[in-house]
Amino acid sequence: MKEKIILFALLALVLNLGCDNSSKESVKVVIDEKSEDGRMQWFKDAKFGMFIHWGVYSQAGGEWNGETNHAEWLQFTAKIPLKEYTNYAKSFNPVKFNAKEWVSIAKNAGMKYIVITSKHHDGFAMYNSQTSSHNIVEGSAFKRDPLKELAEECEKQGLKFCTYYSLGRDWEDPDCPTGYAGNIAWRSNLIDYPIEKNKVLQRYLDRKAIPQVKELLTNYGPIGIMWFDTYELVSKQQGQKIVDIIRELQPECIINSRVGPCLGDYKVNEQEIPEGAEIKPWESCMTMNKHWGYNKADDNWKTSEELVHHLIDIASKGGNFLLNVGPTGEGVFPEASMERLKVMGDWLKVNGEAVYGTTFSPFEKFTWGRCTRKNEDGNTVLYFSVFDWPTNGELFIPELKNKVLQSSLLANSETIQTKSSKGGLILKLPKTAPDTIASVVKVLVKGNIGIN
């Protein structure tokens, strides 16, 4: 049985191919060797983080000239010339922004890290940047540095502070060409800088991106993750240079895979969850509705139940869930986001043990739920998160033949009887589920199952 389970786990891991560049090319992934050292440990244990997409664009709530489907791409999708966008930035004044509140909401939701947009594709720095005046302190009515306030608050409340940086796209800089698969000027600013061939990426990197990365790593205390996006035409060599700079300034800082082709400490999946388990660290980032930046017209909210299930599904495959919030132009979280975060936090307060510090399931995906695992002192704790409670009161775990040392429900500590049957284990459950979203049965078995 053990061999079969290990074989399955290995097979599932093989699915983790393809070097992420946010555009789905199938190149073999080469993860930085050092990712296996202590730098990654907190990340592997954390499982759940908050993504925050917030900028000048948030003011519009997705609406521009009667169109309501914009968000963080506003400048590009609404075809706003840079001068007009810069002027629009001046009215950005999120007076209700409260770093303590934001971090408390994330903490109560059970999130262990926050990744906030320090600069999105619009090139507008949401912090006090000395490199470019296109920033929130110099270029908006707000004149405060929200990243500084958030970094300090994260430190106080014990969350990791992490920054998103759009690397290969910058609609403010005249030297930022883009392209993909022969598609020249793919998402470049051609309104203000129409001559793509005159753009020299290295000039933009030296003048803006690298100095800004240095600022973030110098002025905001420890940065948990440098979360790069859309490296576009950045070469492996150029990406490596940025990696080297980060390693020098903050060796503990984790770098995601979008710093350049086949670079970084872990792989990112955007708006999707992989089919099977993956042994290397990875993360799925996802919106709660359809937009990253605030869009007041978007009511396509995932339910709290779906979001909890996503978190468990991701943990059962060895990944992290980076769940997005798009605060308003005033600096508050949408009500619908807060409701969902509250439910997730409440679920995690009871069942967090089944998520934090766990690793991927040794079993094939169940139809009724998911499994996570911790190997401890030669024994294995299995957490069976049951989404669909069995009507006959029995849950069959195929292949599980190890001796059961203990078995109980996390919701109420009620002991669960088990019995061996037909090459597996039967869990005898009460008639009704103790939790309507997902109920967790914790089963301690003798011996180690699966690989770490």
Contact residues: ligand H79, CB under 6 A: 53, 72-73, 77, 229-230, 270, 285, 292
**Rg value, the chain, Cα:** 23
Q: Pick between residue 72 and residue 173 the one whose CB is nearest to ligand H79.
A: 72
Q: Pick between residue 230 and residue 385 the one whose CB is nearest to ligand H79.
A: 230
| Least distance from ligand H79 to the Cβ atom of residue 229, Å | 5
| Least distance from ligand H79 to the Cβ atom of residue 37, Å | 27
Q: What angle do CA 391, 392, 396 make, to 5 degrees?
A: 105
| Least distance from ligand H79 to the Cβ atom of residue 274, Å | 17
HSE-up of 250 (CA within 13 Å, CB side)?
Answer: 20
| Least distance from ligand H79 to the Cβ atom of residue 364, Å | 31
Q: Count helices and strands (H / E) in the chain.
A: 12, 17
Contact between 43 and 320 under an 8 Å Cβ cutoff? The reply is yes
Q: How far is CA 288 from the centre of its chain?
A: 12
Q: Pick between residue 77 and residue 219 the one whose CB is nearest to ligand H79.
A: 77
What letters, b where the CB count within 10 A reaches 16 and e where it falls short, cover 169-186? bbbbbbbbbbbbeeeebb
Measure Cα distances from 435 to 50, 308, 351, 387 in Å.
24, 12, 10, 9
Q: Pick between residue 9 and residue 56 the one whose CB is nearest to ligand H79.
A: 56
| Least distance from ligand H79 to the Cβ atom of residue 444, Å | 39
Query: Torsions phi, psi of 162, nearest 5?
Result: -135, 150
Query: Torsions phi, psi of 367, nearest 5?
Result: -75, -25
Q: Give the Cα separation of 242 and 236 in Å (integer).
A: 10
Q: Pick between residue 72 and residue 153 the one whose CB is nearest to ligand H79.
A: 72
Q: Is 426 strand, coil or helix? A: strand
Q: Which residues contact 41 (CB under 8 A, 6 or more apart)?
A: none
Q: Is 117 strand, coil or helix? A: strand
| Least distance from ligand H79 to the Cβ atom of residue 214, Å | 22
Residue 411, amino acid: A
| Least distance from ligand H79 to the Cβ atom of residue 183, Å | 13
Q: Pick between residue 5 and residue 116 the one whose CB is nearest to ligand H79.
A: 116
- Which helix (H) or strand (E) segment holds residue 304: the answer is helix 304-316
| Least distance from ligand H79 to the Cβ atom of residue 446, Å | 43
Q: In the sheet where 394-398 sits, what is the strand order?
A: 394-398, 424-428, 417-421
| Least distance from ligand H79 to the Cβ atom of residue 77, Å | 5
| Least distance from ligand H79 to the Cβ atom of residue 292, Å | 4
Q: Pick between residue 229 and residue 298 the one whose CB is nearest to ligand H79.
A: 229
Q: Pick between residue 285 and residue 438 the one whose CB is nearest to ligand H79.
A: 285
Query: Torsions phi, psi of 345, nearest 5?
Result: -65, -40
Q: Pick between residue 75 and residue 407 the one whose CB is nearest to ligand H79.
A: 75
Q: What angle do CA 16, 228, 84 make, to 5 degrees?
A: 140
Q: Pick between residue 295 and residue 359 the one whose CB is nearest to ligand H79.
A: 295
